[in-house]
Amino acid sequence: MTNTRAAITGIHAYVPDYVLTNAELEKMVDTNDEWIATRTGIRERRILKGEGLATSYLGEQAVKGLLEKTGTDPEEIGLLICATVTPDMMFPDTANLIAHRTGMKNAFTFDLSAACSGFLFALTTGAKYIESGMYKKVIVVGADKMSSIMDYTDRATCILFGDGGGAVLLEPSTDGNGIMDSILHSDGAGAENLYQRGGGSLRPATHETVDAKEHFAFQNGRPVYKAAVAGMSGVVKEMMQKHSLTAENVAWVVPHQANLRIIESVASMADFPMEKVMVNIHKYGNTTAATLPLCLWEWENQLKKGDNLILTAFGGGYTWGAIWVKWAY
């Protein structure tokens, strides 16, 4: 029997045109470019503006580009998963809307919510459907309109996040390339440090919840920072040790783009050189479920068939993990 793996056979991403710079944020909250850049590494982020434009639009643009780029008939797609924490609505699923607008008449679709680890969790899930033989073509989307849940009077959070979307096509591979392994974790003890309190069944929307700004994202920075560094560095080291991977035979580490200091700490603790770590946080900020596909999209022309990549992320919940990918093209 052949060992079928799920291989990434295409990648595309989309970011909105509007650029929110640190200089512009200086006019909105008590902050400045030097303070933001020194503490986070972020210089600018993209914001989706326009009536009726939501997370599904970000995902739709990424998927349309992916289908065109790979020459894929949308009716051949069996499954579309959308990782997001900013769905257009509570229901229907944002994945359902993306599939409808991109002509995927035969696709089974669902959303997956794991905050900034969403793309990792969705990629692993999509890969299992390929490995099982249930589907031959699966699309995994990571998309978030984080500006929709930002309090632009709170300088602790609004400086960090931006909007964007990315999508990958998964297909069966028997040549030894593809998604090799994943290590994923969750710990609800972290819920008190990173959450959006309002809008769910616990705190449905009322005048009280709106006035209390409970529909915006909240982050308790220090414990989240420590947990992110420990979680991502630990799981990267575990993956490398498990499969005898080293800084020499891993082409790239692809980390969640939350904070440049976190990325640098993770690289240091995993004994991995920064020149082999993908970093684009300075341009896009933290786009939550979109950060990993945005990196792969930007580095695509530097990736070679057989390259070892380690993707890692950490998000609210807490959620965290790593995936080892052998690039397939």
Q: Give the integer Cα–Cα distance in Å for 279 and 295.
A: 7
Q: Can you tell me the distance from the alpha carbon of 18 to that of 20, in angstroms, rounded to the nearest whole number?
A: 7
Burial class (CB in 10 A: 0-12, 13-18, 19+), 318: buried
Catalytic residue status for 286: yes
* Secondary structure of 118-154 in HEC code, one letter for each residue: HHHHHHHHHHHHHHCCCCCCEEEEEEEEHHHHCCCCC
Q: How far apart are CA 262 and CA 213, in angstroms?
A: 28
106 is catalytic: no
Cis peptide before 223 (omega within 30 of 0): no
Q: Residue 108, Cβ neighbours under 10 Å: how many? A: 17
Spacing of C-alpha 172 from chain mean position: 23
Q: Sign of dihedral through CA atoms 49, 50, 54, 58?
A: negative
The active-site residue out of 96, 193, 286, 308 is: 286
**Which residue is catalytic, options 22, 82, 96, 116?**
116
Q: How far apart are CA 327 and CA 319, in angstroms?
A: 25
Query: Per-residue b/e over 85-99, b at no fewer than 16 CB within 10 Å?
Result: bbbbeeeebbbbbbb
Q: Are 87 and 142 in contact (CB under 8 A)?
A: no
User: Catalytic one among 256, 259, 295, 308?
Assistant: 256
Strand partners, 109: 80
Is 301 one of the catalytic residues?
no
Helix (H, G, I), strand (E, B) or coil at 202: coil
Q: What residues are annotated to the active site?
A: 116, 256, 286
